[in-house]
Amino acid sequence: KDTDDWELTIGEDGYYSKRGKSIRRVSTFVLEPTLLLKGEEQEAIVCNVHSPEVTKDVTFTRKAFNGRNGLDKELPNVAWQWLGRDDDVRQLLPLLLEQLNERGLPRTRATGVLGLHTIDGHYYFVGDSCTIDSVDIWPNKTGPIVYLETNREHPVLGNLDNSDSGTYNSSLLNLIPQLNEPSVIWPIIGWYCATPLKSIFELYGIRFPILNVFGTKGSGKTTLIQRVFMP
């Protein structure tokens, strides 16, 4: 079959696949690429999704463009449907990269590991919703290094821009040590405060498991971690 006259085009209501004289709609959405994420193990593209409402900052990994099944797994909204074939999906990635190149190829570093990272001797703390250093806070995907979503379970970094954070943190500091016996709660507090430094420990060959809590059965280890520290 002659496929020389084959291209993927953008319409007002989705993408269209043109093969010769045949034109058919292959999606219910259009992706507007805004940023390329350069991860150590994989790359991803951040897009605004138009369908017809706009959903901003949706991340699609490289695996999404291998075929229809890969793309379907990364389309969380039921209104976003891919109606085309695998080869139509593979045409989508070059089109998005071309659009990014037209914008000057905006890109930033990305990591699938939450916590402390070093870039050119400068420390950054990467959370799932923002990146911070000793001076600034970068929301979402605007920082010098950002979080690239993975399928692994991970903690959630709450919103740091909270007008009541001073009162909240003060109450929290008074209450947490009273949640259990000192022999139980203080090791957990120490572990919790040390976990953001995991990547630094590893630079010096120190093994530090992300979960390193000891205690007798029924002492509240799991409850404290899941109900207090994780939130």
Which has the minimum average pLDDT: 26-30, 64-68, 83-87, 139-143? 139-143
pLDDT surpassing 80 at residue 170: no
- 13-47 burial code (b ≥16 CB/10 A, e <16): ebbbbeeeeeeeebbbbbbebbbbbebeeeebbbb
Tokens 């084959």 belong to which residue? 6
Strand 30-39 and strand 107-111: the pairing is: parallel
pLDDT in tens, 42-67: 899 999 999 989 999 899 999 999 99
Instruction: Identify the band that residue 154 occupies on the pLDDT scale cut at 50, 70 and 90.
Output: low
Neighbours of 10 (CB within 10 A): 14
Contact yes or no for 106/100 (Cβ under 8 A): yes
Q: Which pTM was predicted?
A: 0.66
Q: How far apart are CA 106 and CA 35, in angstroms?
A: 5
Residue 22: enclosing H or E segment and its boundaries?
strand 22-25
pLDDT in tens, 90-129: 999 999 999 999 999 999 999 988 888 888 889 898 988 8
Highest mean pLDDT among 108-117, 164-173, 174-183, 209-218: 108-117
